[in-house]
Amino acid sequence: MTRTKRSFAVALAAGAAAIALGMTGCTPSAGGGGDDASVLRVWAGSATPINNNFNPFAVDTAVHATFGVIYEPLFFFNQLSADAPVGLIGDSYEYSEDGRTLTVTIKPDLKWSDGDDLTADDVAFTFGYGSNKSEQFVSAEATDATTVVLTYTEPQFTSASLTLGSTYIIPEHIWADIDDFMAETNPEPVGSGPYVLKSFSDAAYTVEANELFRDGAPAVTEVQYLGLDSNQSSQDLLTTGKIDWVGQFIANPDAVTGEGNITTQNLQQDPTTITTCANADLGCEGAQTDPAVRQAIDVAIDRATIADKAFAGLAGESSPSFTLQPRDEQWLSDPELATSPQEANAAEAGAILEAAGYTKDADGFYGTGGTAFEIDLFSPDGWTDYNDAAKLISEQAADAGIRINARTVSDAEYWTPIQSGDFQMALYGLTQSIVADPYSNYHEYFAGTSTAKVGETPLVGQNYARYSNPVVDGAVLAAGATQDVATKQAAYATIQAEIARDLPYIPVVLNASQSFFNTEKFSGWPSEGDLYAAPLPYLAVANAVVLSHLTPAK
Amino acid sequence: MSFYLRRVAFYLVTLWAAISLNFLLPRLLPGDPAAIMLGKLRRASGGRPLSEETIEAITSILGAGKDMSLWDQYVAYWGRLLQGDLGVSSTRYPASVADLIAAALPWTIILVGVATVISFLLGIIVGAWVGWRRGTALDHLVPVTTVFQSIPYFWLALVLVAVFSVQLGWFPIVGGYDVFEFPAGPEPTWAFVGSAIYHAILPATTIVLSSVGGWLLGMRNMMVSTMSEDYVVTAEAKGLTPRRVRTRYASRNAAIPSLAGFGIALGFVVAGSIVMEQVFSYPGIGKLMIQAVQGLDYALMQGVFLVITLTVLAANFFMDLIYGFIDPRVRHNG
């Protein structure tokens, strides 16, 4: 008898959550969920069953506490500011003149959580182990107990945030015996971070203060990470005071913050774009391979309406320069490129297309030889903000005489074509560079070296637009080989002019990422005036920095 | 005896067909799990080039099949299956599928199983009573329960959570047990069992509420038609007590068709209730299935489907045997 219900299952839509939202918003019953007030409870987004995996090399499948909380990189790069990185294990670092040698000094008298000494040998071992060895890596040598010298074949100026900020230092005395680093689950992690694993189950796991942590054990003695399967559950637990910190989308944040004990922050960093398969030379097919069509779409869409209707007014304005403003202020070459047009201009879109030789067919849609072109735009089913945005884009483009068909696909059908290039346009989120320098955006998404022919997956980089432009490639190479600000600015100006004209990725909005945290039970959270780290519980390293700043409020 | 032999042979063939289909179906879906995992890995690692070693490690485990013929894959699939090896999950890499299923199965079987049995018994007993007293005020129970059945399940569950858990605070919001009290997971203590039962009440209630109407309606109608049968009239004419007529003559015969339905419902217990598990973050198997399908996790998908297929077949086989026993008419062919 419940069989019909099961087929409804898949239809568990966000719409249902919205209904309950209205009901839960009223007067939540207060009350502490747990017994011990000093335990901080987090939902970092994991669903049950939680994977028992603390392998710092499993960046996609290991649990959140692995990154920063248990294992640490050398330095912390705050993606919210342009300030110099903060030393964790590392104390200072210096590049050689040619950028091929990097000398790192680590702090003295460090300990692993099992009591062994953490020395430069461990750091050197880490850089020569597993997937940390990049193509350009030559050697890592510990010259004394606190100094490590890393040598590469190419200048490494631009990879500081990867090398120093997201290479997790592992103890040699344990990992030296592990051969298959990808299949390792590391259920008893020994790290250097502020916390050590206390208990694990597939519904929740708990970490406790590391007594051997270099700055002394953190004030919050226990942190419990929960596995939850829906945003609605998390929101319910938040309003009833049972969890203290979550990073999730809540369309109506007032429903949670109304009581005053929960505070929210909304950071807008990662650009959502219409990623196009842009390069006919590499095998892309469709009208969107013509830059004029992409330019027309760029001016035909009404970003203000999209941000408002599809993203609940929480998204930010994206920039065709793919810099993050105001953080990357010094790298923006032209103030015109600070943000994309926010309002639709159908007339301009039409003019661009007509100048490129397109004419309207009987129904008013542009095409050649009397047949209108049609472009396919897909987004993953159930990502309601993306689905709504795609629908709006399709309608707005139609007003300008451009036929875009929005459709939704399953998760599986989403990732594969994007990587293989077997698509025309997709709504796709790019990842913002985590340092105040757009280099990684340009290298990752726009460089010809980061792409591959249609049908193949890029081996390096994520240039899924298949964009390839020798001018951009030259400038990316030039910017990567120098630390000189003026040279870099010149290179970036070239890149920005090219990509803002060619638009292989048509910027739509900057995604909202909301965090909610309990300021009544814990103090020391990042605030408007002191954004020492992004308060997102799923963000590697920043989460640990926040945790070690907190104190129980009583 | 040949009735039972025929049934056994029939079920063996069905089993083979089901397992073969289970092998074939995921391979007909678009997408490549290795490509998906590599893509996610690449995004997650913030642009670090993936090393050859990493790519090899992943494709060798997940991408197998590109160079193998379908037949060789099929033979290898049977070989692994007979050893009890269900493979490695790609979405929960490198957890083994067998472990994931073993952890989820007890929760689903106990909660959905008990809820299904309660719903069935409740429906049969109340249905028999309502049918017996047809035409009285009791008949109003039928539309009331069917309304609950026609409300979309997720909506019903969300409303109950909003009212009883969030507003009134009577029941927990999520989980199969109190993760705050038992941070290390299940343990063999009464306190834990109590916590698990407490956490099961609301989800079980939602299942019972949404399914009892069907049983009740079916039973009531069968009861009404059975009561006009000659043997019931004869029993009444003989002057037997109404209680005896109701239980021994009418209810027993009226329940037979429902029993067949119950067998099928029991089989589907293992498929879990995807929506219930999603709403309550309940650690069951329906959720594994959804995650597997969304993440194109072939191994997990096959493992879950296999377990579901086996239980549905087993439950049906069992009910077939029982049915042949209770109702001898089915043992005679043609």
- SS3 at position B279: helix
- Indicate whether B56 and B192 sit together in one domain: no
pLDDT confidence of residue B89: 82
Answer whether the bond into residue B186 is a cis peptide, omega within 30°: no
- Indicate whether B167 and B56 sit together in one domain: no
CA distance A387 to A383: 6
Is B270's pLDDT higher than 70? yes
B257 at A interface, C-beta within 8 A: no
- For the stretch B67-113, pLDDT in tens is 677 788 888 888 888 888 888 887 787 788 888 998 888 888 888 88
pLDDT confidence of residue A387: 92
CB contact under 8 A, B184 and A199: yes
ipTM given for this complex: 0.77
- Indicate whether B283 and B147 sit together in one domain: yes
Q: Which of B154, B186, B288 sits opposite A12 (nearest CB)?
A: B154
The C-alpha of A502 sits at a distance from chain B's nearest C-alpha, in angstroms, of 23
CA distance A235 to A302: 31
Task: Indicate the average pLDDT of chain B.
Answer: 82
Answer whether the bond into residue A335 is a cis peptide, omega within 30°: no
CA-nearest residue of chain B to A55? B94
Six-digit token string for B301: 């998908």
Q: Assign domain A269-511 to its CATH architecture.
A: Roll (3.10)
- SS3 at position B33: helix
List of residues 6+ apart from A490 with CB closer than 8 A: none
Cα–Cα distances in Å, from B114 out to A219, A294, B273, B325? 45, 58, 13, 25
List of residues 6+ apart from A84 with CB closer than 8 A: none
Query: Tokens 């037997």 — which residue?
Result: B240
B118 at A interface, C-beta within 8 A: no
CA-nearest residue of chain A to B35? A416
Query: Tokens 């020395």 — which residue?
Result: A119
pLDDT confidence of residue A523: 93
- For the stretch B46-58, pLDDT in tens is 556 666 667 776 7
B28 at A interface, C-beta within 8 A: no
- For the stretch A191-220, pLDDT in tens is 999 999 999 998 899 999 999 999 999 999
- For the stretch B208-238, pLDDT in tens is 888 888 899 889 988 888 888 888 888 888 8
CB contact under 8 A, A29 and B42: no
Residues of B in contact with A10 (CB under 8 A): 274, 290
List of residues 6+ apart from A484 with CB closer than 8 A: none
DSSP state of B96: B
- Indicate whether B149 and B196 sit together in one domain: yes
Six-digit token string for B150: 């026609």
Q: Which of A58, A133, A412 sits opposite B51 (nearest CB)?
A: A133
The C-alpha of A76 sits at a distance from chain B's nearest C-alpha, in angstroms, of 15
The domain segmentation of chain A, as residue ranges, is 39-70+193-261+519-552, 75-176, 269-511
pLDDT exceeding 90 applies to what percent of chain B? 4
CB contact under 8 A, B173 and A49: no
- Do domains A39-70+193-261+519-552 and A75-176 share one topology? The answer is yes
- Indicate whether B46 and B108 sit together in one domain: no
- Four-way CATH pick for A39-70+193-261+519-552: 3.40.190.10, 2.60.120.260, 1.20.1250.20, 3.30.1390.20: 3.40.190.10
How is the beta sheet containing A101-106 ordered, strand by strand? A90-95, A101-106, A147-152, A137-144
Q: To the nearest 5 percent, what fractions of chain A are helix, strand and coil? A: 30, 20, 45
- Indicate whether B151 and B256 sit together in one domain: yes
CA distance A469 to A487: 20
Residue ranges of chain A with per-residue pLDDT less than 70:
1-37, 412, 554
- Indicate whether B111 and B6 sit together in one domain: no
Looking at the domain assignment, is residue B179 inside a domain?
Answer: yes
CB contact under 8 A, B39 and A418: yes
Looking at the domain assignment, is residue B91 inside a domain?
Answer: no
Q: Which of A131, A239, A431 sits opposite B166 (nearest CB)?
A: A239
Q: What is the span of the domain harbouring residue B278? A: 97-327
- Indicate whether B262 and B133 sit together in one domain: yes
Residues of B in contact with A57 (CB under 8 A): 54
Is B66's pLDDT higher than 70? no
pLDDT confidence of residue A553: 84
- Residue A420 sits at the vertex; the CA angle it makes with A415 and A421, to the nearest 5 degrees, is 100
- Indicate whether B14 and B57 sit together in one domain: yes
Looking at the domain assignment, is residue B332 inside a domain?
Answer: no
Domain stop point among B54, B83, B112: B83
Q: Count how many pairs of residues, chain A against chain B, have C-beta atoms within 8 Å.
A: 263
Q: Which of B51, B158, B207 sits opposite A131 (nearest CB)?
A: B51
CA distance B175 to A25: 22
Orientation of helix A485-502 relative to helix A470-480, angle to 10°: 150
**Are the C-beta atoms of A400 and A300 separated by less than 8 Å?**
yes
- Residue B319 sits at the vertex; the CA angle it makes with B317 and B320, to the nearest 5 degrees, is 60
Looking at the domain assignment, is residue B212 inside a domain?
Answer: yes
CB contact under 8 A, A5 and B277: no
- Indicate whether B60 and B104 sit together in one domain: no
Looking at the domain assignment, is residue B195 inside a domain?
Answer: yes
Residues of B in contact with A457 (CB under 8 A): 35, 38-39
**Are the C-beta atoms of B123 and B215 separated by less than 8 Å?**
yes
Orientation of helix A411-420 relative to helix B33-44, angle to 10°: 80
- Indicate whether B59 and B101 sit together in one domain: no
Domain stop point among B31, B55, B83: B83
Looking at the domain assignment, is residue B265 inside a domain?
Answer: yes
Q: Which of A6, A236, A434 sits opposite B173 (nearest CB)?
A: A236
Q: Which of A131, A236, A444 sits opposite B161 (nearest CB)?
A: A236
Six-digit token string for A189: 């992690």
Residues in chain A: 554
CA-nearest residue of chain A to B216? A1
Q: Assign domain A75-176 to its CATH architecture.
A: 3-Layer(aba) Sandwich (3.40)
Counted domains in chain B: 2
Residues of A in contact with B46 (CB under 8 A): 161-162, 166, 431, 434, 440
Domain stop point among B22, B56, B83: B83
- Indicate whether B157 and B233 sit together in one domain: yes
CA distance B134 to B112: 31
Indicate which CATH number applies to the domain containing B318: 1.10.3720.10
Six-digit token string for A224: 């419990």
The C-alpha of B174 sits at a distance from chain A's nearest C-alpha, in angstroms, of 7
